[in-house]
């Protein structure tokens, strides 16, 4: 879900893709990009701040002073991924919106670099509580970004009152992550479309109406 337009390595090389904010922002962009590359190539266990500084063309001291630990750097990678992620769709149709969401997740999880990056973060989160927290924040932000698609469908009368928007958004992504991480079944665009259709059908039937305690 990272902005693929910013994949040129050295930010200075292509002014069109430089994130706004001057040198500090350019250093952050270069370091985060280098951290993503290292995560995708070797995983979390072999991350090293010195190696990332070298890849980014940035002084080691800068990296150690700004991020301090590998865990803090990965948390910043996740915050940046959330910031750079695509905005939600707004087509006026719940099914079309959720299909756009499912296709975005499916493209992300089948892009070799992005899939490796997500797998590395998810693997790290299974054994590192701070990485898990940062990853959960990433997913909360993505769920919040897409929830208005469901809220609008409720307002339009497409879905029952009391439907939990977050639960519908989770239902779109879940089958894709299950295939990526557990069952290993193919993960094509047809699977994405089916995930969107199933979420809409279940939501229409009231399966995601909030449970009042």
In angstroms, the CA 90 to CA 34 distance is 33
| Closer residue to a second copy in complex, CB, 61/126 | 126
Shortest distance, CB of residue 98 to a second copy, whole angstroms?
12
| Closer residue to a second copy in complex, CB, 9/160 | 160
| Closer residue to a second copy in complex, CB, 25/205 | 205
Shortest distance, CB of residue 92 to a second copy, whole angstroms?
21
* Helix and strand totals (H; E) in the chain: 9, 0
Query: Which residue, 165, 166, 157, 192, is CA-closest to 178?
Result: 192
| Closer residue to a second copy in complex, CB, 35/53 | 35
Shortest distance, CB of residue 51 to a second copy, whole angstroms?
18
| Closer residue to a second copy in complex, CB, 18/166 | 166
Shortest distance, CB of residue 205 to a second copy, whole angstroms?
4
Query: Which residue, 43, 26, 49, is CA-closest to 115?
Result: 43
Residues that bind a second copy (CB under 8 A): 43, 45, 119-120, 122-127, 132-133, 135-136, 139-140, 143, 167, 170-171, 173-175, 177-179, 181-185, 190, 194, 197-199, 201-202, 204-208, 211
Which residues pair with residue 163 across a beta bridge? 209
Structure tokens at 156: 């339009």
Shortest distance, CB of residue 213 to a second copy, whole angstroms?
9
| Closer residue to a second copy in complex, CB, 96/132 | 132
Which residues pair with residue 209 across a beta bridge? 163
Shortest distance, CB of residue 135 to a second copy, whole angstroms?
7
Q: Which long-range contacts (CB under 8 A, 24 or more apart) does 138-143 make?
A: 138/78, 138/79, 138/81, 138/82, 141/82, 141/85, 142/1, 142/82, 142/85, 142/169, 143/169, 143/170
User: Position of tokens 């519908």?
Assistant: 168
């Amino acid at each position: 879900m990272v902005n693929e337009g910013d994949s040129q390595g050295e930010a200075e090389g292509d002014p069109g893709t430089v994130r706004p904010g001057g040198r500090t922002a350019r250093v952050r962009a270069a370091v985060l990009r280098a951290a993503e590359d290292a995560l995708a190539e070797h995983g979390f266990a072999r991350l090293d701040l010195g190696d990332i500084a070298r890849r980014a063309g940035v002084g080691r001291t800068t990296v150690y002073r700004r991020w301090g630990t590998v865990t803090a750097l990965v948390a910043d990678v996740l915050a940046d991924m959330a910031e750079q992620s695509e905005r939600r769709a707004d087509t006026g149709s719940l099914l079309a919106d959720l299909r756009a969401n499912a296709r975005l997740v499916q493209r992300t999880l089948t892009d070799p670099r992005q899939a490796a990056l997500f797998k590395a973060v998810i693997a790290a989160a299974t054994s590192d509580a701070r990485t898990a927290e940062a990853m959960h924040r990433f997913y909360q932000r993505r769920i919040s970004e897409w929830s208005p698609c469901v809220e609008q469908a409720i307002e339009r009368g497409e879905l029952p009152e009391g439907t939990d928007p977050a639960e519908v958004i989770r239902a779109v992504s879940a089958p894709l992550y299950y295939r990526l991480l557990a069952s290993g079944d193919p993960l094509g665009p047809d699977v994405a479309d089916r995930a969107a259709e199933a979420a809409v059908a279940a939501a229409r039937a009231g399966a995601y109406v909030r449970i009042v305690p």
